[in-house]
Amino acid sequence: MQSPYDDILTYRESALPGFGGRQVEALNALSRILRENSFEELWDLGCGSGELLAGLAVRNRERRFIGIDNSRDSLKVARLRAKELLNLTYRFGSLSAVSPTRNDAVICTGNTAVHFGAHRIQQWLRQRGTHGKLPRWIFLDFHHELDFLVNSPDTFRVEACGVDDDVSLSLSGLNTVRSGRFIVRQLVLVRCNLMNISGANARVTSVRQYADPVCAYDQVLMEAGFSLAERLDYVHGYGQMEGRLWTRRNDL
């Protein structure tokens, strides 16, 4: 089964100008968290094409990193990027494939947690807790407009718009629509010749996300025995994020 991110990967840089540069900023922000918090292995849920995880592995060669993603095309790119990194491996899978021990850490960046919803994360935490295998710390982030999108989701945000040679128009953006307990976000890229609008070329990829507010994720982590250690506002390839670092209470 193909992941929508298999398709997004092919035109992400065009639809989201500056994606790579923002990922470097995110790498710097996450590197500080790693320096200040101990762990044996770090699991990255939704690692995508591996820009962040490979960068973290390069900067922390004495630590082990495992990337999990359900986009086979993204993992192909990630594995090529990491072929000389002995402390980094990738696995195809989803939330159930993340199996840290008590000395490990889990990160889930780029607003990825909303693909699983608060209830599935709660189930995962309960399962890990029953076997005494909750990670030492967890880092989740959410798009800074998530709560707004959950409550007023029918929006379109322009990411880039430009005209080349006075005739070629390029427009990209993110469209968001509410659908029951979900919100559907669509990455849109339109290119056309202003002299021939009818010949416009459009690419649209839809990604379904749970319409849970940020506080729902906070609640399930607190119920699982985690305490909020730090908030982090930072720039990610997919936009401005609000990060939260959670630590097991008995480790404080």
C-alpha to C-alpha distance for 94 and 209, rounded to whole angstroms: 14
pTM for this model (two decimals): 0.92
CA distance 172 to 166: 18
Concatenated DSSP letters for 74-97? HHHHHHHHTTT-TTEEEEE--GGG
Integer CA distances (angstroms), 111 to 180, 199, 249, in order: 20, 34, 24
Distance of CA 150 to the CA centre of its chain: 17
For residue 252, is pLDDT > 60? no
Q: Indicate if the pLDDT at residue 101 is higher than 60.
A: yes
Distance, CA of 70 to CA of 24 (rounded, Å)? 23
Say which DSSP state 19 is in: H
Side chain identity at residue 165, one-letter code: D
Hey, what long-range contacts does 195-202 have (CB within 8 A, 24 or more apart)? 195/167
Q: Are 205 and 4 in contact (CB under 8 A)?
A: yes
Each residue of 6-44: pLDDT tens digit?
Answer: 999 999 988 999 999 999 999 999 999 999 999 999 999
Mean pLDDT of 107-117: 96
Closest to 186 measured CA to CA, from 161, 215, 149, 216: 149
Spatial separation of the C-alpha atoms in residues 40 and 168, rounded to whole Å: 51
Q: Tell me: the pLDDT tens digits for 164-208?
A: 766 688 889 999 998 889 999 999 998 887 766 666 788 999 999
pLDDT at position 135: 97
CA 224/CA 214 separation, integer angstroms = 16
* Mean pLDDT score, 237-250: 93
- Output the pLDDT for position 32: 94
Q: Do the Cβ atoms of 132 and 99 come closer than 8 Å?
A: no
